A and B are shown apart, each in its own frame.
Chain A
């Protein structure tokens, strides 16, 4: 461990180093390249702006609104994705009846439905929660269904040979096996959650970070837009890391490094 810390060639040092270089280039272009801050603000300007936003407190209410929408929407998306996914996977009748509709629904771009949802659920919290939940729902649903399909046939035979009941096989084998893919789905959904909320706020809102971006944009305050963008990616990255961490804690038996899961 000590050696790794000193090793400047380690990947994390390289990533960090690249970031420093890019920021330096960006800063010098803005300072010496006669680029208007209306087009591209300097990194230093964005940092100062972020500090001011938090110090003066103007951003807090918007942050809280967005966070609330993201978390509630994500939660509802998870819960409904898990329940519907389990029903579709485990109850053949439900699969036959509901699955075609789910596939059809999935092909509808959720972003395009956002204006409709704002009309139905208003400018407040509800419409954003619904959009967020809807966007999170499908990757989780798909991961639950493929998770249950991924149960090893030999393991199923083993449980059968050992006299396990259907319920015992479900609890002791099928659910734990499904968790690997379910957590992959949760990771994707955690990133989509922030996107869902912001789309909702773009379409119609009176508060929230998406609303703030729209306002800054309208006022040609590009530095402000960048500052909010940074807050948004911080939220997204935190949510993603927490989900990923929970997944790794929970599915400890997968030894290999899981492939980074990112939505497209």
Chain B
């Protein structure tokens, strides 16, 4: 074991934190146009602790987005229940920030106004809030783009703006659905580093969906491995690698072992996975 006994993940996440989100026997079925019933999620249960970073990996179609949309309050469950802090989830919550696969910025608003979406919707147009948005943009290396429009930015920059927009809600929980999936490998790595920096700066509980095993392991305290048809959790793996982590962590022996372990899980379900 390379984990130091006092590492952040050990101390704050594994032992001390309480459960923040409870996903209990959640099942989600869709009726398709042709009338078939698709089980996107079959009895999924998961507890997410406060300040924990949970990565979710799985092949496409295994219900990752469905799970995130349920947690975001955008989609209802067929059966089962989701609780935040003990309260049953009924719709979008103000303490949850979401980053989608596409940046989904409003093209007619400047970068700054996009980041300020959440305060603007609350009619908060204070100087203080605007300064906070500018600080966030600076933190993300976008200071000089505040007055530009999204179409003047690269895909990676747009996704960083989307992250600022989510952070602007001061969320306790950050839900991210393959936020870097559309980006090139180098941009993706630098955004991984930035995300780790954000999460170490302001404590957040994060559910991070990805189809990249190394990304899931690099970022996560735990990696939830999902499999399709019907979508379910096949295994949950603790990532016992100390923080702070960096891109160098990927050269770590333990890192490779965990990645392999996850690949083996997919491998054991080869008939399903390779058919995708």
Question: Quick check: A168 and B98 within 8 Å, CB to CB?
Answer: no
- The answer to whether A255 and B117 touch (CB under 8 A), given A163-B92, A176-B108, is no
Indicate whether A253 reaches chain B with its CB closer than 8 angstroms: yes
The bracket for how many chain A residues form the interface is 10 to 19
User: Once bound together, how far apart are the Cα atoms of A158 and B169, in whole Å?
Assistant: 13
Question: Quick check: B106 and A173 within 8 Å, CB to CB?
Answer: yes
Indicate whether B19 reaches chain A with its CB closer than 8 angstroms: no
Select which of B96, B100, B108 is within 8 A of A158 by beta carbon: B100
Indicate whether B118 reaches chain A with its CB closer than 8 angstroms: yes
**Which residues from A are CB-within-8-Å of B169?**
162
- The answer to whether A160 and B92 touch (CB under 8 A), given A154-B100, A172-B106, A255-B151, is yes
Question: Quick check: A160 and B74 within 8 Å, CB to CB?
Answer: yes
Indicate whether A217 reaches chain B with its CB closer than 8 angstroms: no
**Which residues from B are CB-within-8-Å of A253?**
107-108, 149-151
Main secondary structure of the interface of B (DSSP, over half): loop
**Which residues from B are CB-within-8-Å of A173?**
106
Indicate whether A7 reaches chain B with its CB closer than 8 angstroms: no
Question: Quick check: B121 and A168 within 8 Å, CB to CB?
Answer: yes
Interchain nearest-CB distance for B181 vs A (Å): 14
Indicate whether B72 reaches chain A with its CB closer than 8 angstroms: yes
User: Once bound together, how far apart are the Cα atoms of A201 and B236, in whole Å?
Assistant: 78
Question: Quick check: B106 and A176 within 8 Å, CB to CB?
Answer: yes
**Which residues from A are CB-within-8-Å of B92?**
160-163
Indicate whether A93 reaches chain B with its CB closer than 8 angstroms: no
Question: Quick check: B117 and A162 within 8 Å, CB to CB?
Answer: yes
User: Once bound together, how far apart are the Cα atoms of A158 and B151, in whole Å?
Assistant: 18
User: Once bound together, how far apart are the Cα atoms of A239 and B259, in whole Å?
Assistant: 64
- The answer to whether A157 and B121 touch (CB under 8 A), given A162-B169, A176-B106, A253-B149, is no
**Which residues from B are CB-within-8-Å of A160?**
74, 92
Question: Quick check: A155 and B104 within 8 Å, CB to CB?
Answer: yes
Question: Quick check: B149 and A157 within 8 Å, CB to CB?
Answer: no
**Which residues from A are CB-within-8-Å of B108?**
176, 251-253
Q: A-side interface residues toward B, CB under 8 Å? A: 152, 154-155, 157-158, 160-165, 168, 172-173, 176, 251-253, 255
Sample 20 A-B pairs with CB under 8 A, ordered by A number.
A154-B104, A155-B106, A158-B98, A158-B100, A158-B104, A160-B74, A160-B92, A161-B74, A161-B92, A162-B121, A162-B169, A163-B92, A163-B118, A163-B121, A172-B106, A172-B117, A172-B121, A173-B106, A176-B106, A176-B108
